[in-house]
Every structure is written in structure tokens, then in C-alpha cells.
């Protein structure tokens, strides 16, 4: 992994912490969070040192960090994890209500699901300020601050008011809503002002970056914006607004799935699930309504009805991980997925064969990558996604070049993985037709498509994403030097 040498301290700020300490019957268990941000920035901070500020949400977090600071790792520490502790009322208002019931559905164009309240906004803003005070109080002078996502939209301006010496890059991981949709948020002007506290604003796609600049142009008509350069003049500063598509560590995934243990796991999955002549399909999602799980199940029903020659020849494994169970809409969706799956299996099962198998829990990363290697096709059918790293992980794990990726056109990943077969999650007939087409591709055609996408991921890695953002921040702060 190519790392960078910095002359100024690095501070990462996220809602979720990279390591959670949980109480168990046998003691305290430390769990590393999954996700691209942790995969990229944990190794960086272990190499270079620095600080990570995040919500301390684990049941044993206070025990391992009594003063709010936990060394990482506990033995031979390389960096400091600063835990911000939230009250139940803060979690409810900031995280559950404003962020996840307001900003999340709005940004994914699910307008009818968005709920905002002034009380939740007040808590959201106060928690963002709490994060900013922690950074301002404990971080060294002239630090480079790399903050993240929709939970911390007003953090940049809150920090800038407290510490003008810091250079701030903020990355928005989900889609940015177009201006007419953004205006449905009662506090959209405050959100924009909050984001504009950063020196660098990163988005997954150029469309998102342009949509943000459109929002600023419509809201603050006196502000000078250079769209060709991606620059906004704001309060005497120049803010860089750019697309930085997040990626994966393809070399690490390739090495993992080629390891003897995961190779055996992948082969064992095929032997266990498939009879001779059968093919394995896979999807992996949180039980989130933005992931298009119900429309995908409708498309699979349409597929088996329209193409009965595939009955008995396809086994589709859907991994549906429960998430945000405190939000009613997510609990309801999980029940709907279970019911729809049961109906499809009742309609199409033949003898001992049934088309759909559901895993209702998270799978550790090595085994998940093994499933991707084992699969003959993957369905990524998000209604709307900033990027969707599952698509990139599937491509990376396909070292045998056996599989086919069917990818929603409304994901950021679709703009990069052009050799995937495009699908519209709201078109069940077209979705079914594309799946039939995917199963008709020759081995040579599948291998050629995968090779092209893998070449792209080798040229645009997770660490390139980190380096590009920090290099851009260096342009503003004059403090970042490539080693």
C-alpha cells in the first residue's frame, strides 16, 4: 500500500468508530468495523500516527477508554481513538431521527419517507458542535482534519469557528440531492453553510459535486462559483469541490480469496449449495429500503415466470443484514423481505430445490469475499447509491473470472464499472431479461468483462482515493507531501 508522509498531524472524524469494545460473558471483545473508510484510514493512521474522533457506541467503550481516549491497538499503540459519548436522547435526535429519518431518505430521493423536526435538528446541530469542540480542544495545531458524511454535515463550519488553523476535508458518501429536493429539508441553508466550512468537499461522482454547486448557486446568489475548476469562493476562502470515487483494496481482496482457507470455503459453498449444472447467484445488502431488495425480489419472480427453463438451475443466496432496528421503517422492510421470499419459494420450488436462500446476519469479511468468488452472478440493484462497494468487492473477488455483475444504473459504481450489465431496479421485466442475458454469456465473454473491470480497480484503488483527497487538501493547506 502506498502511504503518504505528512508534515502536519492527521485527524479523522467519523460518526462510527473503527473499533468497538463490547461486553461479553467472557470479558471484553474488540470488534473492527467494516467499511471502506476503516479499511483505508486505519492502516494509514497505524503507519503515520494521528487521531480518530468518533461516537463511542460500544457497551464496554467507557471501560477501555475511561478518559475518552483509547490507544489503537491496545498493545504497542499507533494512534489514538477519541470517543465522543452521546446520551440516549442525543442518539435518538441526532442519529435516528435527523440523520437517518431525514437526510438519508431525502438524499436517496425517497421523499415520502423523509421526516424532519426542529427538535431533532437542534439535537443534530448540538452533537455536531460537540464533535467540533472535542477536536478543537484536544487536537494539535495546524492539523489536517478529514471528516465524513451526512451525520456530520455542519461539523466543518462548527470546527472552523473554533479553530481557524486547521485545514478541513469533508467527504459526503451518499448521493447529494438536487436542489429542488434539497429544499424540502427545512434546514437546507444551514446544512450548506455547515458544509462550506470545509476547505475540500468530496463527493462520489461528478454529478453529485455539480449538484452541490447548483445548490450553493441557487441558495447564495452572490457567491462566485467556477464550475470548470470546481471552486467556490466563500467568506474569503476558496473551497475545492471535486469527485473522489471511493474504491476497494483489490490486491488485498485477491490475496484473501486465493488463500487456501478461503479457496476451500468457496469450493465448499458451491458443493454444499449446488447440484450439478446449477448456478449460484448472490446479493449482499443491509436491510435498507434504498437497496432495492423488494423490487429485486419482484424481478426474480418475473424472471422465473418468463424464463421457466431456469427453474431448478439457479440457486440465489441473498445476504440481508439487519440494520437500524430502532427505526420502524427498517423493521417493517425486514419483515416484508422475509414474506416476499417465502412466497417466491412457495411458487417456484421443485422437490428439494428452492430458488432463494436467505442469510439473516452479517458474514465476516473473509467468508463474504469467498462467497463473491464462488458466485456465478451478483445482483446489485440499489434504487440510488452514492457508490456501492459491494459491486467493486464482487469484481475484485472474481479471480476465477467466472461471474457476471448486474448493476443498477443509479449507483455511482455504474459510472466506473462499464462492463457490468446495467439494470433498472424499477423495471422488473427488463431486469429479468438482463438476467437471462447474463446467464447466456459465454465463459470468454464473462472473463473479458471481468478483466476490464478489474484493470480499472487496480488503477483506482482505495488508497488512491485517500491520497487524492489528502493531496487536494495539501493544495489548500500546503502541508501534504508524497513520499
| Full DSSP string of 243-312 | E------HHHHHHHHHSHHHHHHHHHHHHHH--TT-EEEEEEEES-GGG-HHHHHHHHHHHHHH-GGGTT
Cα(226)–Cα(265) distance, integer angstroms: 52
Q: Which residue segments constitute the domains of the chain, with CATH numbers given?
A: 4-246+462-482 (3.40.50.2000), 250-459 (3.40.50.2000)
Query: What pLDDT does 327 receive?
Result: 58
Query: What pLDDT does 274 receive?
Result: 96
The CA distances from residue 134 to 14, 153, 168, in Å, are 13, 16, 15
Set of cell numbers at residue 99: 440523520
Find out whether 127 and 90 touch, Cβ atoms under 8 Å. yes
Kindly provide the residue ranges of all beta strands, DSSP E only, lying in 331-385, ordered along the sequence.
356-359, 377-380
List, in sequence order, every residue forming a beta bridge with 79; answer none if it has no partner: 72
Residue with cell 476490464: 452
Average pLDDT, the chain: 94
Query: What pLDDT does 328 receive?
Result: 66
Exposed e or buried b per residue across 234-249, where buried means at least 16 C-beta atoms within 10 angstroms of its C-beta: beeeebbbbbbbbbbb
Cα(220)–Cα(37) distance, integer angstroms: 32
Instruction: List the chain residues with pLDDT less than 50.
Output: 1-3, 479-483
Find out whether 354 and 347 touch, Cβ atoms under 8 Å. no
Q: What is the CB neighbour count within 10 angstroms for residue 454?
A: 20
The CA distances from residue 377 to 242, 283, 315, 361, in Å, are 33, 9, 10, 21
Query: What pLDDT does 479 receive?
Result: 45
pLDDT digits (tens, 9 = 90+) for 249-264: 999 999 999 999 999 9
453: left (phi over 0), alpha (psi -120 to 50) or beta: alpha
Query: What pLDDT does 331 receive?
Result: 75
204: CB partners within 8 A, 6+ apart: 172, 173, 174, 175, 243, 244, 245, 246, 386, 387, 412
234: CB partners within 8 A, 6+ apart: 196, 223
Cα(292)–Cα(381) distance, integer angstroms: 6
226: CB partners within 8 A, 6+ apart: 232
Q: What is the CB neighbour count within 10 angstroms for residue 412?
A: 27
Is the pTM value of this prediction over 0.95? no
Query: What pLDDT does 351 receive?
Result: 92
Amino acid at each position: 500500500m502506498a502511504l503518504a508522509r505528512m508534515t502536519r498531524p492527521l485527524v479523522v472524524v467519523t460518526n462510527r468508530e473503527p473499533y468497538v469494545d463490547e461486553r461479553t460473558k467472557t470479558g471484553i471483545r474488540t470488534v473492527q468495523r467494516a467499511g471502506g473508510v476503516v479499511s483505508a484510514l486505519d492502516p494509514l493512521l497505524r503507519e503515520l500516527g494521528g487521531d480518530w474522533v468518533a461516537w463511542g457506541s460500544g457497551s464496554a467503550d467507557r471501560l477501555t477508554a475511561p478518559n475518552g481516549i483509547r490507544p489503537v491497538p491496545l498493545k504497542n499503540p499507533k494512534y489514538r481513538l477519541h470517543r465522543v459519548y452521546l446520551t440516549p436522547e442525543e442518539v435518538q435526535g441526532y442519529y435516528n431521527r435527523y440523520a437517518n429519518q431525514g437526510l438519508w431518505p431525502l438524499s436517496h430521493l425517497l421523499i415520502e419517507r423523509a421526516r424532519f423536526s426542529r427538535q431533532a435538528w437542534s439535537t443534530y446541530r448540538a452533537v455536531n458542535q460537540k464533535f467540533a469542540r472535542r477536536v478543537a480542544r484536544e487536537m494539535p495545531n495546524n492539523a489536517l482534519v478529514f471528516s465524513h458524511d451526512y451525520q456530520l454535515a455542519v461539523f466543518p463550519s462548527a470546527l472552523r469557528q473554533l479553530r481557524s488553523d486547521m485545514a478541513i476535508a469533508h467527504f459526503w458518501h451518499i448521493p447529494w440531492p438536487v436542489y429542488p429536493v434539497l429544499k424540502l429539508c427545512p434546514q437546507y441553508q444551514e446544512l450548506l453553510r455547515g458544509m462550506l466550512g470545509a476547505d475540500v468537499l468530496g463527493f462520489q461522482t461528478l454529478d453529485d459535486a455539480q449538484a452541490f454547486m447548483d445548490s450553493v448557486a441557487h441558495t447564495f446568489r452572490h457567491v462566485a462559483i467556477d464550475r470548470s475548476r470546481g471552486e467556490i469562493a466563500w467568506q474569503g476562502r476558496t473551497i475545492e469541490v471535486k469527485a473522489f470515487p471511493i474504491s476497494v483494496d483489490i490486491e488485498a481482496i485477491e490475496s484473501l480469496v486465493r488463500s487456501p482457507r478461503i479457496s476451500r470455503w468457496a469450493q465448499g459453498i458451491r458443493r454444499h449449495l449446488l447440484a450439478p449444472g446449477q448456478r449460484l447467484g448472490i446479493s449482499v445488502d443491509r436491510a435498507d429500503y434504498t437497496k432495492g431488495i423488494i423490487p429485486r425480489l419482484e424481478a426474480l419472480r418475473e424472471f422465473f415466470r418468463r424464463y421457466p427453463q431456469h427453474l431448478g438451475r439457479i440457486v440465489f443466496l441473498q445476504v440481508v443484514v439487519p440494520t437500524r432496528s430502532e427505526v420502524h421503517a427498517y423493521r417493517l422492510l425486514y419483515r416484508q423481505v422475509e414474506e416476499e421470499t417465502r412466497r417466491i419459494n412457495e411458487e417456484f420450488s421443485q422437490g428439494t430445490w428452492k430458488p432463494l436462500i436467505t442469510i439473516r446476519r452479517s458474514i465476516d469479511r473473509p467468508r463474504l469475499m469467498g462467497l463473491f468468488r464462488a458466485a456465478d452472478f451478483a445482483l446489485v440493484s440499489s434504487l440510488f447509491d452514492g457508490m456501492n462497494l459491494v459491486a467493486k468487492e464482487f469484481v475484485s473477488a472474481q479471480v476465477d473470472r467466472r461471474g457476471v455483475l448486474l448493476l443498477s444504473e443509479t449507483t455511482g459504481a455504474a459510472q466506473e464499472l462499464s462492463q457490468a450489465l446495467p439494470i433498472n431496479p424499477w423495471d422488473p421485466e427488463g431486469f429479468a431479461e438482463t438476467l437471462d442475458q447474463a446467464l447466456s454469456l459465454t465463459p470468454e465473454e464473462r472473463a473479458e468483462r471481468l478483466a476490464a473491470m478489474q484493470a480499472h480497480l487496480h488503477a483506482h484503488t482505495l488508497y488512491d482515493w485517500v491520497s487524492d483527497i489528502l493531496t487536494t487538501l495539501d493544495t489548500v493547506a500546503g502541508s501534504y507531501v508524497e513520499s
